[in-house]
Amino acid sequence: MSDATPVPLSPARLVSFRFHGELAAFLAPARRDRSFEVRCAADSSLKHVIEALGVPHTEVGRVLVDGRPASLERRLCPGERVSVHPHAARCGKPCPSPPPRLIADAHLGGLARLLRLAGFDTLYDNHIEDATLVATAVRERRVVLTRDRELLKRRDVAEGCFVHALEPARQAVEILRRLGLAGHARPFSRCLECNAALQEVSPAAVVQRLPPAVRARHTHFSACAGCGRVYWEGSHWQRLRARIDALLAQARAAPQDEAAD
Protein backbone atom coordinates (compact mmCIF):
# COMPACT_ATOMS: atom_id res chain seq x y z
CA MET A 1 0.00 0.00 0.00
CA SER A 2 1.39 3.37 -1.02
CA ASP A 3 1.86 6.04 1.63
CA ALA A 4 2.06 8.82 -0.96
CA THR A 5 -0.08 11.82 -0.13
CA PRO A 6 -2.94 12.10 -2.66
CA VAL A 7 -2.99 15.23 -4.80
CA PRO A 8 -6.20 17.15 -4.15
CA LEU A 9 -8.42 17.84 -7.15
CA SER A 10 -8.48 21.45 -8.34
CA PRO A 11 -11.67 23.11 -7.15
CA ALA A 12 -14.28 23.98 -9.73
CA ARG A 13 -14.90 27.69 -10.24
CA LEU A 14 -17.53 29.90 -11.82
CA VAL A 15 -16.90 31.84 -15.04
CA SER A 16 -19.44 34.16 -16.70
CA PHE A 17 -20.20 33.66 -20.41
CA ARG A 18 -22.17 35.68 -22.97
CA PHE A 19 -22.60 34.51 -26.59
CA HIS A 20 -23.50 37.04 -29.27
CA GLY A 21 -25.27 37.02 -32.63
CA GLU A 22 -25.91 33.73 -34.37
CA LEU A 23 -23.88 31.81 -31.77
CA ALA A 24 -26.90 31.97 -29.45
CA ALA A 25 -28.67 29.44 -31.69
CA PHE A 26 -26.25 26.74 -30.49
CA LEU A 27 -27.15 27.25 -26.83
CA ALA A 28 -29.95 25.93 -24.68
CA PRO A 29 -32.86 28.45 -24.86
CA ALA A 30 -32.40 29.55 -21.24
CA ARG A 31 -28.84 30.71 -22.01
CA ARG A 32 -29.55 32.76 -25.12
CA ASP A 33 -29.21 36.56 -25.20
CA ARG A 34 -27.99 36.80 -21.62
CA SER A 35 -24.96 36.25 -19.42
CA PHE A 36 -24.79 33.02 -17.44
CA GLU A 37 -22.32 31.32 -15.15
CA VAL A 38 -20.56 28.04 -15.90
CA ARG A 39 -18.76 25.86 -13.37
CA CYS A 40 -15.38 25.05 -14.96
CA ALA A 41 -12.61 22.66 -13.99
CA ALA A 42 -9.33 24.31 -13.03
CA ASP A 43 -7.54 23.35 -16.24
CA SER A 44 -10.38 24.13 -18.65
CA SER A 45 -9.53 26.00 -21.84
CA LEU A 46 -11.88 28.40 -23.57
CA LYS A 47 -12.22 25.97 -26.48
CA HIS A 48 -13.20 23.10 -24.20
CA VAL A 49 -15.89 25.04 -22.37
CA ILE A 50 -17.27 26.80 -25.46
CA GLU A 51 -17.67 23.50 -27.30
CA ALA A 52 -19.13 21.80 -24.22
CA LEU A 53 -21.81 24.49 -24.30
CA GLY A 54 -22.61 23.53 -27.90
CA VAL A 55 -20.67 26.02 -30.04
CA PRO A 56 -18.11 24.59 -32.51
CA HIS A 57 -14.72 26.32 -32.47
CA THR A 58 -15.02 27.03 -36.21
CA GLU A 59 -17.94 29.40 -35.52
CA VAL A 60 -16.05 31.59 -33.05
CA GLY A 61 -14.69 34.75 -34.59
CA ARG A 62 -13.51 36.62 -31.49
CA VAL A 63 -13.31 36.00 -27.75
CA LEU A 64 -12.89 38.67 -25.09
CA VAL A 65 -11.99 37.83 -21.50
CA ASP A 66 -12.67 40.77 -19.20
CA GLY A 67 -12.69 42.94 -22.31
CA ARG A 68 -9.35 41.74 -23.70
CA PRO A 69 -8.84 39.51 -26.77
CA ALA A 70 -8.03 35.89 -25.92
CA SER A 71 -7.16 32.73 -27.83
CA LEU A 72 -9.25 29.58 -27.61
CA GLU A 73 -6.37 27.79 -25.90
CA ARG A 74 -6.36 30.22 -22.96
CA ARG A 75 -7.00 28.69 -19.52
CA LEU A 76 -9.85 30.13 -17.49
CA CYS A 77 -9.65 31.74 -14.06
CA PRO A 78 -12.41 32.13 -11.46
CA GLY A 79 -14.63 35.17 -11.80
CA GLU A 80 -13.65 36.01 -15.37
CA ARG A 81 -16.23 37.36 -17.80
CA VAL A 82 -16.10 35.83 -21.28
CA SER A 83 -17.73 37.39 -24.35
CA VAL A 84 -17.89 35.15 -27.45
CA HIS A 85 -18.59 36.64 -30.90
CA PRO A 86 -19.25 35.02 -34.30
CA HIS A 87 -17.33 35.67 -37.50
CA ALA A 88 -18.42 38.88 -39.19
CA ALA A 89 -20.07 38.25 -42.56
CA ARG A 90 -17.93 39.75 -45.31
CA CYS A 91 -20.92 40.47 -47.63
CA GLY A 92 -19.51 42.75 -50.34
CA LYS A 93 -15.94 42.51 -49.02
CA PRO A 94 -14.11 39.84 -51.05
CA CYS A 95 -11.95 37.25 -49.36
CA PRO A 96 -8.24 37.20 -50.19
CA SER A 97 -7.39 35.65 -53.54
CA PRO A 98 -7.51 32.81 -54.38
CA PRO A 99 -10.83 31.90 -52.75
CA PRO A 100 -10.87 28.91 -50.40
CA ARG A 101 -11.59 25.42 -51.62
CA LEU A 102 -14.64 23.80 -50.06
CA ILE A 103 -15.98 20.39 -49.11
CA ALA A 104 -19.67 19.83 -48.33
CA ASP A 105 -20.97 16.98 -46.21
CA ALA A 106 -23.30 14.28 -47.52
CA HIS A 107 -26.47 16.25 -46.70
CA LEU A 108 -25.62 19.43 -48.64
CA GLY A 109 -25.83 18.33 -52.27
CA GLY A 110 -28.02 21.25 -53.32
CA LEU A 111 -25.62 23.76 -51.79
CA ALA A 112 -22.61 22.08 -53.39
CA ARG A 113 -24.25 22.26 -56.82
CA LEU A 114 -24.97 25.99 -56.48
CA LEU A 115 -21.43 26.74 -55.32
CA ARG A 116 -20.07 24.81 -58.31
CA LEU A 117 -22.45 26.74 -60.55
CA ALA A 118 -20.90 29.95 -59.20
CA GLY A 119 -17.45 28.59 -60.04
CA PHE A 120 -16.16 27.49 -56.63
CA ASP A 121 -14.13 24.32 -56.11
CA THR A 122 -16.56 22.30 -53.98
CA LEU A 123 -16.10 18.60 -53.28
CA TYR A 124 -19.24 16.58 -52.58
CA ASP A 125 -20.01 12.89 -52.26
CA ASN A 126 -23.35 11.82 -50.82
CA HIS A 127 -21.78 8.59 -49.52
CA ILE A 128 -18.72 10.12 -47.86
CA GLU A 129 -17.97 9.14 -44.26
CA ASP A 130 -17.18 11.87 -41.75
CA ALA A 131 -13.64 10.58 -41.14
CA THR A 132 -12.90 10.64 -44.88
CA LEU A 133 -14.37 14.12 -45.23
CA VAL A 134 -12.20 15.47 -42.41
CA ALA A 135 -9.07 13.76 -43.74
CA THR A 136 -9.71 15.22 -47.20
CA ALA A 137 -10.32 18.69 -45.77
CA VAL A 138 -7.05 18.55 -43.82
CA ARG A 139 -5.01 17.13 -46.71
CA GLU A 140 -6.36 19.58 -49.31
CA ARG A 141 -6.89 22.53 -46.96
CA ARG A 142 -10.60 22.77 -47.63
CA VAL A 143 -13.29 24.56 -45.62
CA VAL A 144 -15.83 22.08 -44.25
CA LEU A 145 -19.49 22.97 -44.88
CA THR A 146 -21.98 21.11 -42.71
CA ARG A 147 -25.07 21.27 -40.51
CA ASP A 148 -23.48 18.80 -38.09
CA ARG A 149 -22.01 20.75 -35.20
CA GLU A 150 -20.24 17.67 -33.82
CA LEU A 151 -18.32 17.33 -37.08
CA LEU A 152 -17.04 20.89 -36.71
CA LYS A 153 -15.92 20.22 -33.13
CA ARG A 154 -13.34 17.69 -34.29
CA ARG A 155 -9.83 18.79 -33.41
CA ASP A 156 -8.52 18.26 -36.97
CA VAL A 157 -11.09 20.61 -38.53
CA ALA A 158 -9.19 23.88 -38.82
CA GLU A 159 -11.71 25.75 -40.98
CA GLY A 160 -15.40 25.11 -41.29
CA CYS A 161 -18.82 26.71 -41.53
CA PHE A 162 -21.99 25.59 -39.83
CA VAL A 163 -24.77 26.13 -42.38
CA HIS A 164 -27.79 27.62 -40.59
CA ALA A 165 -30.21 27.87 -43.53
CA LEU A 166 -32.25 24.85 -44.62
CA GLU A 167 -32.98 25.67 -48.28
CA PRO A 168 -30.08 25.42 -50.80
CA ALA A 169 -30.45 28.94 -52.24
CA ARG A 170 -30.42 30.50 -48.77
CA GLN A 171 -27.52 28.26 -47.81
CA ALA A 172 -25.56 29.50 -50.82
CA VAL A 173 -26.16 33.16 -49.94
CA GLU A 174 -25.14 32.45 -46.34
CA ILE A 175 -21.82 30.87 -47.34
CA LEU A 176 -21.08 33.43 -50.07
CA ARG A 177 -21.56 36.19 -47.50
CA ARG A 178 -19.64 34.61 -44.66
CA LEU A 179 -16.59 33.74 -46.77
CA GLY A 180 -16.72 36.83 -49.01
CA LEU A 181 -16.89 34.71 -52.16
CA ALA A 182 -19.21 36.74 -54.40
CA GLY A 183 -16.41 38.87 -55.84
CA HIS A 184 -14.55 35.73 -56.95
CA ALA A 185 -17.47 34.05 -58.71
CA ARG A 186 -16.85 32.61 -62.19
CA PRO A 187 -20.20 31.09 -63.18
CA PHE A 188 -20.14 28.08 -65.49
CA SER A 189 -16.44 27.41 -65.03
CA ARG A 190 -16.93 24.08 -63.16
CA CYS A 191 -18.82 20.90 -63.87
CA LEU A 192 -22.01 20.64 -61.83
CA GLU A 193 -21.67 16.87 -61.64
CA CYS A 194 -18.01 16.22 -60.77
CA ASN A 195 -16.53 19.65 -59.85
CA ALA A 196 -13.74 19.53 -62.48
CA ALA A 197 -12.89 22.63 -64.52
CA LEU A 198 -14.71 23.28 -67.79
CA GLN A 199 -12.78 23.99 -70.98
CA GLU A 200 -14.03 25.72 -74.11
CA VAL A 201 -14.06 23.29 -77.04
CA SER A 202 -14.82 23.49 -80.75
CA PRO A 203 -18.10 22.08 -82.09
CA ALA A 204 -16.11 19.51 -84.06
CA ALA A 205 -14.61 18.11 -80.85
CA VAL A 206 -18.00 17.25 -79.35
CA VAL A 207 -20.32 16.96 -82.36
CA GLN A 208 -20.85 13.22 -81.89
CA ARG A 209 -22.14 13.78 -78.35
CA LEU A 210 -24.69 16.47 -79.22
CA PRO A 211 -28.40 16.08 -79.99
CA PRO A 212 -29.22 17.13 -83.60
CA ALA A 213 -31.20 20.18 -82.47
CA VAL A 214 -28.27 21.41 -80.37
CA ARG A 215 -25.84 20.96 -83.26
CA ALA A 216 -28.09 23.07 -85.46
CA ARG A 217 -28.61 25.94 -83.00
CA HIS A 218 -25.38 26.36 -81.03
CA THR A 219 -21.73 27.03 -81.82
CA HIS A 220 -20.17 27.60 -78.37
CA PHE A 221 -19.51 24.64 -76.10
CA SER A 222 -17.62 23.74 -72.93
CA ALA A 223 -16.57 20.26 -71.87
CA CYS A 224 -15.68 18.90 -68.46
CA ALA A 225 -12.04 17.90 -68.13
CA GLY A 226 -13.07 15.21 -65.64
CA CYS A 227 -16.23 13.40 -66.75
CA GLY A 228 -16.50 14.74 -70.32
CA ARG A 229 -19.97 16.25 -69.87
CA VAL A 230 -20.74 18.90 -72.52
CA TYR A 231 -22.38 22.26 -71.75
CA TRP A 232 -23.95 24.84 -74.07
CA GLU A 233 -25.94 28.06 -73.66
CA GLY A 234 -29.48 26.78 -74.12
CA SER A 235 -32.67 27.73 -72.29
CA HIS A 236 -31.59 25.73 -69.23
CA TRP A 237 -28.29 27.66 -69.17
CA GLN A 238 -30.24 30.94 -69.25
CA ARG A 239 -32.38 29.89 -66.29
CA LEU A 240 -29.31 28.86 -64.33
CA ARG A 241 -27.59 32.15 -65.21
CA ALA A 242 -30.54 34.15 -63.90
CA ARG A 243 -30.57 32.09 -60.72
CA ILE A 244 -26.88 32.42 -59.92
CA ASP A 245 -26.89 36.15 -60.76
CA ALA A 246 -29.73 36.64 -58.26
CA LEU A 247 -27.90 34.69 -55.55
CA LEU A 248 -24.68 36.66 -56.10
CA ALA A 249 -26.60 39.94 -55.91
CA GLN A 250 -28.14 38.87 -52.58
CA ALA A 251 -24.74 37.83 -51.26
CA ARG A 252 -23.23 41.23 -52.10
CA ALA A 253 -26.06 43.12 -50.37
CA ALA A 254 -25.99 43.76 -46.64
CA PRO A 255 -28.75 41.88 -44.79
CA GLN A 256 -30.46 45.12 -43.78
CA ASP A 257 -30.55 46.25 -47.42
CA GLU A 258 -32.20 42.97 -48.36
CA ALA A 259 -34.81 43.39 -45.63
CA ALA A 260 -35.63 46.89 -46.86
CA ASP A 261 -36.44 45.72 -50.41
Provide the residue range defining the domain that includes 178: 89-186
What CATH number should be reported for the domain holding residue 62?
Answer: 3.10.20.30
Residue 30 has what pLDDT? 96
Report if residue 260 sits inside a domain: no
Amino acid residing at 41 = A
Taking CA atoms, 42 is separated from 39, 128, 166, in Å, by: 10, 39, 39
**What is the percent of the chain with per-residue pLDDT over 90, rounded to a whole number?**
80
Is residue 162 assigned to a domain? yes
**69 and 107: one domain?**
no
pLDDT of residue 259: 42
87, with CB counted inside 10 A (0-12, 13-18, 19+), is middle
Neighbouring-strand partners of residue 221: 201, 232
- Please check whether residues 82 and 100 belong to one and the same domain: no
Is 114 exposed, middle or buried, given 0-12, 13-18 or 19+ CB atoms closer than 10 A? buried
Strands 60-65 and 68-69: antiparallel
Last residue of one domain, picked from the residues 145, 164, 186: 186
Work out the average pLDDT over 36-62: 95
Same domain, 174 and 102: yes
Give the model confidence (pLDDT) of 122-164 as tens digits. 999 999 999 999 999 999 999 999 999 999 999 999 999 999 9
For residue 121, tell me if it sits in a domain.
yes
Tell me which residue of 207, 243, 4, 2 sits closest to 118, measured CA to CA. Answer: 243
Same domain, 158 and 221: no
Residue 258 lies in a domain: no
How many whole angstroms separate alpha carbon 91 and alpha carbon 178?
A: 7
- Do 166 and 193 reside in the same domain of the chain? no
In a domain, 29, yes or no: yes
Instruction: Give residues with Cβ within 8 angstroms of 253, minimum separation 6.
Output: 91, 92
Same domain, 146 and 63: no
Examine residue 257 and state whether it is found in any structural domain, yes or no: no
Tell whether the torsion through CA atoms of 199, 200, 204 and 210 is positive or negative.
positive
Q: Clarify whether residues 182 and 97 are in a common domain.
A: yes
Predicted TM-score (pTM) of the model is 0.89
- Name the domain boundary from 86, 119, 140: 86
The verdict on residue 32 lying in a domain is yes
Structural domain tally of the chain?
Answer: 3
Q: How far apart are CA 176 and CA 133, in angstroms?
A: 21
For the cut 60, the answer to whether the pLDDT of residue 227 exceeds it is yes
Listed residue (194, 244, 243) closest to 223, CA to CA: 194
Q: Are residues 209 and 138 in the same domain?
A: no
Tell me the per-residue pLDDT of 13-22, one tens digit each, with 9 for 90 and over: 899 999 999 9
Q: How many whole angstroms separate alpha carbon 259 and alpha carbon 13?
A: 44
Report yes or no on 1 lying in a domain.
no
Asked if 139 and 102 sit in the same domain, the reply is yes
Residue 218 sits in the same domain as residue 158: no
Per-residue pLDDT, 254: 73
Please report which confidence band the pLDDT of residue 48 belongs to, taking 50, 70 and 90 as the band edges.
Answer: very high
Q: Using the Cα atoms of residue 215, residue 216, residue 217 and residue 219 in order, give the sign of their dihedral.
A: positive
Closest CA to 52 of 87, 76, 33: 76
> Is the distance from CB of 170 to CB of 258 less than 8 angstroms?
no
